[in-house]
Amino acid sequence: MGSFKSGFISILGRPNVGKSTLFNRILGEKIAIVTEKPQTTRNRILGIKNVEGAQLIFLDTPGLHEGGTELNKRMVKTALATGRDSDVLLFLTEATSPPMEEDRQMLERLKVSKGIPFLVINKIDLVKKETLLPLMDQYQKLFPFEKIIPLSALQGDGIEILIEEIVRVLPEASPYFPEDMLTDQTERFIVSEIIREKVIQHSYQEIPYVTAVAIESFKEFTERNLVVIQATIYVEKESQKKILIGKGGQKLKRIGELSRKEIEAFLEKKVFLELWVKVEKNWTRNPKVLDSLGYFS
């Protein structure tokens, strides 16, 4: 028997390639929110996976992109900093497209990382097998990847192999976290993210990118198995607030219902959820507001 292995594995890549889907799939629980729109994840999210003889600590990150606002810059900075400090770096791409200019640029910036680089080609359920070899070849020329692993985060194919290959290269170390711990994210944070997910899924154009959610109060009534939550949804303009509330408040009501159901399942408690929409002009460009919403640089 070898000694115990443990280490940090960051998941990086362009927006929308499936980083959070892979993260949730590995953990077997929905910790990170997932939507069909890019730039969903905004924070570094930690999740712990225990296997025989090893503890793998995964870090989901915001998508690597070029964006003009302070929020965009903080998201990319968070991702790159996470990548620099990890033991293994999973660079995620999609099987549906060749390497893009953004991949090239970000890989260049990741060269300083001390982590062992793996290329993970996701969404193989969408392509024919014979397209994979030429794609692998293109990436191999781009960056000295230690391993290339094709998989489908959505369907779960290839996940076991990925875990085995990670364990193989992890450093020998004692576990960093207790065995029964799954994540370092607070319930409040996950609840705010569930609400943000529902907003993104039910809105269009710029609204997903200008929405933030703050939990104003979170009161537990243990004897009644009840939680009362008040949350504010921030947007940047009056017009966006109007759209989000909808005719006669219908849209906000729907977002509230869907959020409440998922929060109830997550907390395993009955939930009363009260949502407010507020305008905070240009908050995505305002360092002070970003700090207060927990989007640190």
Ligand X SMILES: Nc1nc2c(ncn2[C@@H]2O[C@H](COP(=O)(O)OP(=O)(O)OP(=O)(O)O)[C@@H](O)[C@H]2O)c(=O)[nH]1
Whose Cβ is closer to Mg ion: residue 5's or residue 196's?
Answer: 196
How many residues form the binding site for ligand X (CB under 6 A)?
Answer: 23
Specify the pairing of strand 226-235 against strand 5-13. Answer: unpaired
Whose Cβ is closer to Mg ion: residue 197's or residue 280's?
Answer: 197
* 125 binding ligand X? (CB under 6 A): yes
Contact string (CB under 6 A) for ligand X, positions 199-218, x = contact: --------------------
Residue 209 Cβ vs Mg ion, minimum distance, rounded to whole Å: 14
Contact string (CB under 6 A) for ligand X, positions 139-158, x = contact: -------------xxx----
Cα separation, 45 vs 55, in Å, equals: 16
DSSP letter for 98, please: -
Q: Report CA-CA distances (Å) from 191 to 48, 178, 182, 243.
A: 19, 23, 16, 23
Contact string (CB under 6 A) for ligand X, positions 25-64, x = contact: ---------xxx-xxxx--------------------xx-
* 256 binding ligand X? (CB under 6 A): no
Sheet holding 88-94, edge to edge: 45-51, 54-60, 5-13, 88-94, 116-122, 147-150
Under a CB-based contact definition with an 8 Å cutoff, are residues 88 and 149 in contact?
no
**Among the residue ranges 12-20, 43-51, 104-112, 164-172, the one whose residues contact ligand X (CB under 6 A):** 12-20
35 interface partner picked from Mg ion, ligand X, none, CB below 5 to 8 A per type: ligand X
**Any alpha helices (H) in 59-218, and if so which ranges?**
70-85, 101-110, 132-142, 159-169, 187-201
* 226 binding ligand X? (CB under 6 A): no
